[in-house]
Amino acid sequence: MDFLVKSGLPEKQRTACVVVGVFEPRRLSEVGERLDEATGGQISSIIKRGDMEGRLGQTLLLHNLPGLMCDRVLLVGCGREREFNDRNYKTVVGTVIRTLNDTGSMEAVAYIPELNVKGRSLAWKVTQFVVSAYDTLYRFDELKTKKETIRRPLRKITLAVPSRRDLTEGEHAVLEGLSIAEGIQFAKDLANLPGNICTPTYLAEQAQQLAEEYDAIDCEILDQAQMEELGMGALLSVAKGSEQPPRFITLEYHGGEGNEKPIVLVGKGITFDAGGISLKPAHQMDEMKYDMCGAAAVLGTLKAAAELELPLNLVVLVPSCENLPDGRANKPGDIVTSLSGQTIEILNTDAEGRLILCDALTYAERYQPEAVIDVATLTGACVVALGREASGLLGNNSPLINDLLAAGRESGDRAWELPLFDEYQDQLKSNFADMANIGGREAGAITAAAFLSRFTKKYRWAHLDIAGTAWRSGDKKGATGRPVPLLTRYLIDRSEELLEP
């Protein structure tokens, strides 16, 4: 879909549809009032008759109004003006896009970013409009033989901004929105693919394609033999239980100076997690195809960064394999040696994410990184603690954590910090190895991060547990593309810091 930015009077728009907001109770927005005047009070008289209260998500489509140059006017309810916040703004955008797509306006001019959202700039509203629009229209029907077709789909939407002085800011915000939205879409598509298609080999191929698409990206794929050579014993122990060969993906994005330290993103790439010998219950086990959402998100973020040509260096690492039960699979009690040299007693083979991540985190040392952020669908405990709204965030450096929290608030892709006190380390004691891979029933999201922290002592590090946020269950089952918005916002903020001396 095309997004344009324009400033201009609503009554002068030659378009299939002009979209304006109505607040509760029955109060036209400023632009709405202007439009109403041009029609000689037609719109307000329709509202007075009670056809549009202005409740959030309500819509009323009007045709052939006098005095206007457009075919239709779409009135969209925005709720109470005092309560018009981020969440309601996104609901309004979703309603607008869905209604236009369903009612035959193939293009429209929307006076929606002009509405006041508490504490939010015009750029924020425009970027968010684009991202929410993509999210609303997203379908994953690649694998359906009969696809739902829309007869007259929405093709072009023009976002009206208050004045000509706002055009540059608006256009830049559209570009940012498009890059983020496409990064999200890339992540969703990868994550929604089933485990029999999206294997470690497939992930590696997608990574290589990214490197072909963008000159600034280089890709390297390590196979099992190369990982053995390096000594990635923890990762390989998980991979052993599967017929699918493991892959270790490295992508480098060179947007900054050659000597500038990179930010490293690490994504958990378990393409299916059956639990291994500590087998999971059958109920909803299909959802464990989503255990590569961390990988999908870091790849989507890299794509967005490359699209935006951010002036920084970025490295993406994806350790990828399946976790299945098998005669060769890890057994509870097995002890493996990680790339760091530390030994691990595997008390539960279902705590496999940390086993593949720890080797990737050690591997990250070779980049002498500015910071390392790992992203993983790591623990069910995180879903219990925070539900599906916030990703769990832990790490060893408060400025880094604060930057990520801020990026989450700004993008609406929120994270929440959990404590990583030293005392939690005690739960990982093993009688037979340097550590156990599980820490008991209590504080499961924290002990998982405590495990990872033993491999991240040489750099600033943060960990995002996205087990609750990366996908939705139930009848709207599907990947969300989170935390691509948070990570991309973080990188944009970092780039702006680099540019300002």
User: Which positions touch ligand BES (CB under 6 A)?
Assistant: 273, 291, 348, 350-353, 377-381, 383, 438, 444, 467
Q: Which does 195 bind (CB under 5 to 8 A by kind): ligand BES, Zn ion, Mn ion, none?
A: none
354 catalytic residue (yes or no): yes
Question: Can residue 273 be called a binding residue for Zn ion (CB under 5 A)?
Answer: yes
Q: How far is the CB of 37 from Zn ion (least distance, A)?
A: 60
Nearer to Zn ion, 353 or 395 (CB): 353
Element (H, E) at 492: helix 484-499
**Of 277-336, which residues contact Zn ion (CB under 5 A)?**
291
Q: Does 350 bind Mn ion (CB under 5 A)?
A: yes
Name the residue number minimizing CB distance to Zn ion.
273
Task: Name which of 137, 169, 139, 174 is nearest 155 in CA terms.
Answer: 137
Q: Whose Cβ is closer to ligand BES: residue 377's or residue 453's?
A: 377
Q: Which helix (H) or strand (E) holds 380?
A: helix 380-386
Distant-in-sequence, close-in-space partners of 256: CB < 8 Å, separation ≥ 6 = 262, 311, 312, 313, 498
C-alpha distance across the termini of the chain, in Å: 37
**Of 121 and 196, CB closest to Zn ion:** 196
For residues 240 and 355, the answer to whether their CB atoms sit within 8 Å is no
Of 32 and 269, nearer to ligand BES (C-beta) is 269
Among 256, 353, 392, 468, binds Zn ion (CB under 5 A): 353
Return the range that interacts with Zn ion (CB under 5 A); candidates 110-118, 252-260, 271-279, 392-400: 271-279
Nearer to ligand BES, 317 or 428 (CB): 428
Q: Checking DSSP bridges between strand 313-323 and strand 263-267, what pairing results, if any?
A: parallel
Kindly tell me which of 56 and 385 has the beta carbon lying closer to Mn ion. 385
**CB 454, CB 269: distance < 8 Å:** no
Give the distance, in angstroms, between the CA of residue 387 and the centroid of all CA atoms in the same chain: 16
Partner whose binding site includes residue 379, from ligand BES, Mn ion, Zn ion, none (CB under 5 to 8 Å by kind): ligand BES
303, 354, 454, 489: which one is catalytic? Answer: 354
Amino acid making up residue 344: I
Answer left, alpha or beta for residue 123, where phi above 0 means left and psi between -120 and 50 means alpha.
Answer: alpha
Annotated catalytic residue within 34, 80, 280, 409: 280
Q: Which of residues 130-189 bind Mn ion (CB under 5 A)?
A: none
State how far the alpha carbon of 218 is from the alpha carbons of 14, 101, 221, 316, 368, in Å: 46, 39, 10, 10, 18
To Mn ion, the closest distance from the beta carbon of 82 in angstroms equals 46
Ranked by CB distance to ligand BES, the top (closest) residue is 380
Candidates 143-151, 347-355, 366-374, 469-477; binding stretch for Mn ion (CB under 5 A): 347-355
Size of the site for Zn ion (CB under 5 A): 4
Can you tell me which residue has the tokens 């405590």? 450
Cβ–Cβ contacts within 10 Å for residue 245, how many? 16
Shortest distance, CB of residue 344 to Mn ion, whole angstroms? 15
Q: From 90-98, 163-171, 349-357, 376-384, give the range in contact with Mn ion by CB under 5 A.
A: 349-357
Cβ closest to ligand BES, residue 31 vs residue 378: 378
Is 72 within 8 Å of 61 (Cβ atoms)? yes
Provide the minimum distance between the beta carbon of 200 and Zn ion in the complex, in angstroms, as a whole number: 14
* Residue 269, C-beta contacts closer than 8 angstroms, at least 6 positions apart: 200, 203, 247, 249, 292, 294, 295, 318, 319, 320, 321, 356
Q: Which amino acid is at 15?
A: T
Provide the minimum distance between the beta carbon of 200 and ligand BES in the complex, in angstroms, as a whole number: 16
Give the Cα-Cα-Cα angle 493, 494, 495 (nearest 5 degrees). 90
Which residues touch 286 (CB under 8 Å, ≥6 apart)? none
48 classed as catalytic: no
For residue 48, the minimal CB distance to Zn ion (Å) is 58
247-286 footprint of Mn ion as x/- string (CB under 5 A): --------------------------x-------------
Residue that the structure tokens 């450096």 belong to = 397
Residues lying near Zn ion in the complex (CB under 5 A) are found at 270, 273, 291, 353
Residues lying near Mn ion in the complex (CB under 5 A) are found at 273, 350, 352
Catalytic residues: 280, 354
